[in-house]
Amino acid sequence: MKTRQTLSDKRKESEKVRSHKELCFRHADFARGMAIYSLDADRADRLREVLQALYEVNKRVPVIVEGRRDTDALRKIGLVGDIITLHSGKGVYEFCEDIAEKYPNAVLLMDWDDKGEKLFRALAEGLTGLWEEVAPLREIIKVLCQKDIKDIEGIPGLIERLAGTTVTVGEEVL
């Protein structure tokens, strides 16, 4: 025998279904948030590893950057080796000549905006044979950062946002 559902019973049933759907949507939103957090944490870990590798390379090889703020950003994350600023009043050709005389290798860490890419190409041509060995460092940093920032000076803020804490590289284990 079927019992008749009252209007009140139908409303209660409808509320149960609605609250179950809301719970499912909330759970899905939470899971998406956790996945985004997880992706950010993974990216922060990978960026930290690359910056640690840059730290190790920078102990023996200078890093060439565009400006003072880029230098400040790399110092903030813990680089202690030579960091050379491109914009020091010399032309690109003269700058490359000076670097080639003083160093056997160099890391070219230009921004990945249009200006930085043009400078990178000009320096790469002028310093042929000095930078290719460590070129993957810039490319990996670029891939890990370019979605959010286009310059070296933004790296400390990005990694802090991704990791949720200030990050430094160096002798200590991260």
Q: Hey, what are 102's tokens?
A: 């003083």
In a domain, 169, yes or no: no
Distance CA 91, CA 69 (A): 20
Number of domains making up the chain = 1
Buried b or exposed e, range 55-69, using 16+ CB within 10 angstroms: bebbeebbbbbbbee
Task: Answer yes or no: are the C-beta atoms of 61 and 106 closer than 8 Å.
Answer: yes
In a domain, 58, yes or no: yes
pTM: 0.75
What CATH number corresponds to the domain at position 12?
3.40.1360.10
As a whole number of angstroms, the longest Cα–Cα distance in the chain is: 98
In a domain, 174, yes or no: no
In a domain, 52, yes or no: yes
In a domain, 17, yes or no: yes
Instruction: For residue 126, give the nearest of 104, 107, 99 by alpha carbon.
Output: 99
pLDDT tens for the chain, residues 1 to 174? 555 666 666 666 656 655 555 555 554 444 444 444 567 889 999 999 999 999 999 999 999 999 999 999 999 999 999 999 997 778 999 999 999 999 999 999 999 999 999 999 999 999 999 999 999 999 999 999 988 999 999 999 999 999 888 888 886 544
Residue 36: give the domain boundaries: 7-163
